[in-house]
Structure 1
Amino acid sequence: MTLHVVAEIRVKAGQEDRLRTALEAMIEPTLTEPGCVVYQPFVDPNDAAHMVLIEEWKSAGALEEHFLAPHFVHLAGVFDEILAEPVTINRLIAE
């Protein structure tokens, strides 16, 4: 089963560049994780404070392991400082 994740992130005003930098730093180490197929951040062209992450994982277990990776733990700490609201995470599977 392939798991698709769409995560929506909104940051406080003035934190847009910090969010973009933090998410870009996640791409390479995340793509080397076992089970990661796609990890791509996107910026809303009409709202720089809103970013969307599109992810694809080979299994839910691989995603859970991702949440324990040092680079994700670091990102969670950055999120604590810059988020305007909690991240919305949608987990989707194709039927």
Structure 2
Amino acid sequence: MLMVIGKATLGEAGKDAALDAFKTMIEASRAEQGCIDYAYALDVIDPSVMHITEKWTDEAALAEHFQTPHMAAFRSALGDLDVQIIDVKKFRTDEGAPLL
């Protein structure tokens, strides 16, 4: 399994449009074959920070994700908004186990 973990900042200008773009991206990505989970979350302490968490079955699924029409539309939308990707990394991991 691959996990993608990242952060982005959202400027106040166009924040609603950015959130709409994120929602559309989440819904389309979760429908992709090979997507285990796909989520963005606003930081509780600093709501200008968006946390990115994705889980993919393998490299092929993630590579296909980057070729989808909704990814192209998302990149285009971000170019018009005050969103800055701070850090995004992928990790290879196992399926995990319950913590508690």
Alpha-carbon deviation of 1:86?
Answer: 3.5
Question: 5+ unaligned residues in a row in structure 2: which ranges?
Answer: 95-100
Residue 46 (1) aligns with residue 69 (2): no
1:63/1:3 Cα in 2 relative to 1: closer, same or farther (>3 Å)? same
Q: What TM-score do you get using the length of structure 1 for normalisation?
A: 0.85
Q: How far, CA to CA, are the matches of 2:33 and 2:82 in structure 1?
A: 28
Moved over 4 A (4+): none
Q: Which residue in the other structure is 1:34 paired with? A: 33
Q: 1:75 to 1:33 in 2, by over 3 A?
A: same
RMSD: 1.7
Report what 2:6 is aligned to: 7
Q: How many angstroms apart in 2 are the aligned matches of 1:66 and 1:90?
A: 15
Identity %: 24
Aligned residues: 94
CA distance in 2, matches of 1:41, 1:85: 14
Contact 1:9/1:83 (<8 A) preserved:
no
- Given that 2:11 and 2:48 are in contact with CA atoms closer than 8 Å, whether structure 1 keeps it comes out as yes
CA distance, structure 2, for counterparts of residue 87 and residue 8 of structure 1: 5
Structure 2 distance, partners of 1:29, 1:13, is: 25
Name the TM-score, length of structure 2 as normaliser: 0.81
